[in-house]
Amino acid sequence: MDETLYSAETNEQYLQFAGHEYDKKNIENLSKMNFLISEIFVRSFSEPRILLLSSIENVSNALTKSLELKLHELRGTKIRSKDFKYNGKQVNWNTWRQFNSIEKDHKKRRVVFDEFVKKTKYIAPVINLRFKKIRKIYSSFSDKIEENSKGSFTPLDGYLISEKILYPNSRVWFRIWDNAQQHHSGVN
């Protein structure tokens, strides 16, 4: 069932990210179903480890789905080119790849890119809030992770454990990088 939900949600997200018509309600409902299955697993089991980590990721994605959808909406409405069009509509963040693939003039592509970079201020608060919530969700599962004997469980820890990168030095460097990123973006 998990694979069927994943496949259905991925299909809707493909339509969404490719700039096609998609069913927002369907994405929300699929995410809720995935959340229920994943939450049951996380609350009931600690093994197999890869399913636990995947379930924690699913829980965090589901609980922040509204922010993800808000981000997508803002990328399409607030981050638009005033001068360039794709398929008769203003190029926006969601159609930028398609525009880039057909626009041969690198200077025009650069103008759109620079314009979009200046407008990231419209999406930064949503991104930062989503990351903050994801970190909090991961932290709430700290007691489920044996490898996490030194504090709060993070998305980075989940990735490192999943990829079997448990070298103490790597974790130290990744944590330094993660802390620097948080400090740089103003996220605590």
Cβ-contact 145, 153 below 8 angstroms? yes
Predicted pLDDT at 18: 77
User: Cα 83 to chain center, whole Å?
Assistant: 29
Residue partners of 125: CB distance under 8 A and separation at least 6: none
Pick the closest to residue 128 from 183, 80, 78, 75 (CA basis): 183
pTM of structure = 0.80
Predicted pLDDT at 184: 66
pLDDT 10s per residue in the chain (188 long)?
A: 678 888 998 899 888 887 788 999 999 999 999 999 999 999 999 899 899 999 999 999 999 999 999 999 999 999 999 999 998 999 999 889 899 999 999 999 999 999 999 999 999 999 999 999 999 999 999 888 866 556 788 898 888 888 877 656 565 666 777 777 777 665 55
Q: For 56, how many CA atoms within 13 A lie in the half-sphere containing its CB?
A: 30
Amino acid at 50: I
Which structure tokens are listed for 45? 């089991």
pLDDT digits (tens, 9 = 90+) for 39-90: 999 999 989 989 999 999 999 999 999 999 999 999 999 999 999 999 899 9
